[in-house]
């Protein structure tokens, strides 16, 4: 078997580390071509020593120098810095598969570079698709890239769709996709306590261990909102064909409903190594390190409607999806700025949705023709969000 050559964008993060854990179990199948990371240089250095990638990519020349010192002398890995280098290692002719696991808008250009180069792209970086879904899907058609969803819900939907699935649900006899979500750490907290929640509380997800940004998105349920937009692009589902179902146990990772009344679901432990192994091995099934599911111990699966008053970010995401064009990119930009401010202690939790809502009101959305339209919307959304933060701070 020839080994798949992998680039892992965001190797030092939660998804990156889980990816390497699966790779470790299959030395006959995978070899590492490039690893990238923007912080946690100690971890990146240890990964380079262990996997001997051809390239490691960091954010700046200063970080490159520090990484070189951490890796030590006479090591074969070549260290590169900057956005161009990320695009290079994502699109190199020496790469087969790219794990897109940078968090946020920073992953957009390298992920798009991998798609344009016709790679097999394992997509964890949902923000990239939310921002530029139309461009992604157009590029995939022309380059022949294969996009495999890593987000557990989309991976579950992918597994529950017919093999010969065509975008546009009707053509495959699918009536709806049912997107499950745990409801996060604040699903049942008394509403009057939400105003004062801390970063630690917001990042303490009941079922999943994840990076800090997505943990906060799960606490506001903006994560589910972004996933609705992600499902729209990946599967050609209209907003009214996507239903969010709160399922606190996180055992069913999502479902597909067919016109004959059948509902297919994918179940498993809440461990990202399952969707990662599914996509890495696809179409084969490979071992992931995740144990078997003890349904007797779980005993009960429960379902609730999402509380849209408690989680206004869900409504904001639907609003952006329905508005179309650059609206999702503006939504994403405002969310990234607001979440970063919350994580820095500069914005109370409940203000995150207020900032995003005000930005959507303020910044006009336009049709997306080229990448610059998306990048411009992203920067206008960020500027407007920063102005909102300044006005909250002085209010
Ligand atoms: P994380 O914060 O743990 O890791 C992020 C990675 O991106 C790190 O390697 C970091 O160095 C890199 N990075 C951050 N900013 C960067 C920048 N400006 N330039 C280049 N690299 C940068 O995040 P994560 O939890 O691993 O999530 C990664 C992506 O996967 C996100 O888009 C998230 O929504 C998605 N995702 C994560 C999970 C999960 O369980 N963690 C589940 C589903 C989807
Ligand atoms: Mg998810």
What does the pLDDT look like over 159-192, one tens digit per residue? Answer: 999 987 877 898 999 999 999 999 999 999 999 9
Give the ligand whose atoms come closest to the C-alpha of residue 123.
Answer: 1
Secondary structure letter of residue 94 according to DSSP: T
CB 233 within 8 A of CB 368: no
What architecture does CATH give domain 158-270+293-394?
Orthogonal Bundle (1.10)
Give the ligand whose atoms come closest to the C-alpha of residue 273.
Answer: 1
Span 271-275, average pLDDT = 98
pLDDT at 203: 96
- For a ligand 1 pocket test, name from 122, 124, 128, 268 the mutation site with the most ligand atoms within 8 angstroms of its C-beta: 124
User: pLDDT > 70: what percent of the chain?
Assistant: 100
pLDDT at 278 exceeding the cut of 80: yes
How close is the Cα of 50 to the center of ligand 2, in Å? 29
Give domain limits for the chain. 4-149, 158-270+293-394
- For a ligand 1 pocket test, name from 7, 8, 12, 14 the mutation site with the most ligand atoms within 8 angstroms of its C-beta: 14
How close is the Cα of 227 to the center of ligand 2, in Å? 7
| CB-based burial label for 272 (10 Å; 0-12, 13-18, 19+) | buried
Secondary structure letter of residue 107 according to DSSP: G
* Angstrom distance (rounded) from CA 89 to CA 173: 39
Does residue 305 sit in helix, strand or coil?
coil
Span 237-251, average pLDDT = 97
How close is the Cα of 108 to the center of ligand 2, in Å? 18
Residue whose CA is closest, atom 25 of ligand 1?
211
CB 363 within 8 A of CB 380: yes
4-149 maps to which CATH number?
3.40.50.720
C-beta 110 within 6 A of ligand 1? no
Long-range contacts at 133-137 (CB < 8 A, ≥ 24 apart)? 133/229, 133/230, 133/232, 133/233, 133/328, 134/233, 134/368, 135/368, 135/370, 135/371, 135/374, 136/112, 136/233, 137/167, 137/233
- For a ligand 1 pocket test, name from 19, 101, 216, 226 the mutation site with the most ligand atoms within 8 angstroms of its C-beta: 101
pLDDT at 160: 97
C-beta 288 within 6 A of ligand 1? no
How close is the Cα of 64 to the center of ligand 2, in Å? 32
pLDDT at 247: 98
Q: What does the pLDDT look like over 87-131, one tens digit per residue?
A: 999 999 999 999 999 999 999 999 999 999 999 999 999 999 999
CB 78 within 8 A of CB 55: yes
Supply 276's token pair. 């990662």
Which numbered atom of ligand 1 lies nearest the CA of 152? Answer: 43
pLDDT at 392 exceeding the cut of 90: no
Span 289-317, average pLDDT = 97
pLDDT averaged over every residue in the chain: 97
Give the ligand whose atoms come closest to the C-alpha of residue 179.
Answer: 2
Span 81-88, average pLDDT = 98
Q: Give the strand pairing for 4-9 and 30-36.
A: parallel
Q: What does the pLDDT look like over 309-348, one tens digit per residue?
A: 999 999 999 999 999 999 999 999 999 999 999 999 999 9
Secondary structure letter of residue 344 according to DSSP: T
Q: In 3D, which of 54, 59, 56, 9 has the Cα closest to residue 31?
A: 54
How close is the Cα of 229 to the center of ligand 2, in Å? 12
Give the ligand whose atoms come closest to the C-alpha of residue 213.
Answer: 1
C-beta 179 within 6 A of ligand 1? no
Does residue 257 sit in helix, strand or coil?
strand
Which numbered atom of ligand 1 lies nearest the CA of 223? Answer: 34
How close is the Cα of 107 to the center of ligand 1, in Å? 9
């Amino acid at each position: 078997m020839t080994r798949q050559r992998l680039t892992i964008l965001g190797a030092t993060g939660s998804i990156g580390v889980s990816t390497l854990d699966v790779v470790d179990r299959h030395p006959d199948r995978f070899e590492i071509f490039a690893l990238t990371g923007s912080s946690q240089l100690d971890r990146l250095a240890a990964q380079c020593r262990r996997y001997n990638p051809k390239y490691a990519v960091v954010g700046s020349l200063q970080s490159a120098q520090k990484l070189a010192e951490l890796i030590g002398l006479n090591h074969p890995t070549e260290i590169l810095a900057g956005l161009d280098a990320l695009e290079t290692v994502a699109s190199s002719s020496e790469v087969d598969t790219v794990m897109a696991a940078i968090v946020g808008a920073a992953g957009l250009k390298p992920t798009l570079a991998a798609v344009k180069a016709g790679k097999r792209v394992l997509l964890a970086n949902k923000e990239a698709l939310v921002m530029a879904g139309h461009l992604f899907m157009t590029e995939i058609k022309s380059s022949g890239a294969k996009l495999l969803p890593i987000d557990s819900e989309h991976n579950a939907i992918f597994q529950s769709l017919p093999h010969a699935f065509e975008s546009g649900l009707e053509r495959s006899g699918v009536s709806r996709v049912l997107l499950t979500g745990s409801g996060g750490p604040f699903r049942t907290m008394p509403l009057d306590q939400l105003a004062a929640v801390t970063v630690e509380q917001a990042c303490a997800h009941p079922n999943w261990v994840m990076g800090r940004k997505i943990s906060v998105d799960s606490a506001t349920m903006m994560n589910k909102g972004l996933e609705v937009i992600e499902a729209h692009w990946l599967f050609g589902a209209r907003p009214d064909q996507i239903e969010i179902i709160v399922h606190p146990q996180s055992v069913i990772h999502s479902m597909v409903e067919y016109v004959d009344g059948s509902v297919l679901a994918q179940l498993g432990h809440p461990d990202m190594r399952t969707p990662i192994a599914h996509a890495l091995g696809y179409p084969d099934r490979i071992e992931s390190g995740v144990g078997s599911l003890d349904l007797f111990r779980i005993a009960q699966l429960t379902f609730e409607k999402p509380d849209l008053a408690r989680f206004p970010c869900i409504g904001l995401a639907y609003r952006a999806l329905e508005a179309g064009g650059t609206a999702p990119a503006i939504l994403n930009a405002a969310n990234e700025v607001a979440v970063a401010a919350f994580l820095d202690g500069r914005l109370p939790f409940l203000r995150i949705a207020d900032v995003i809502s005000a930005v959507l009101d303020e910044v006009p959305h336009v049709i997306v023709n080229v990448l610059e339209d998306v990048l411009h919307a992203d920067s206008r959304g960020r500027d407007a969000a920063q102005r909102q933060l300044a006005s909250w701070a002085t209010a």
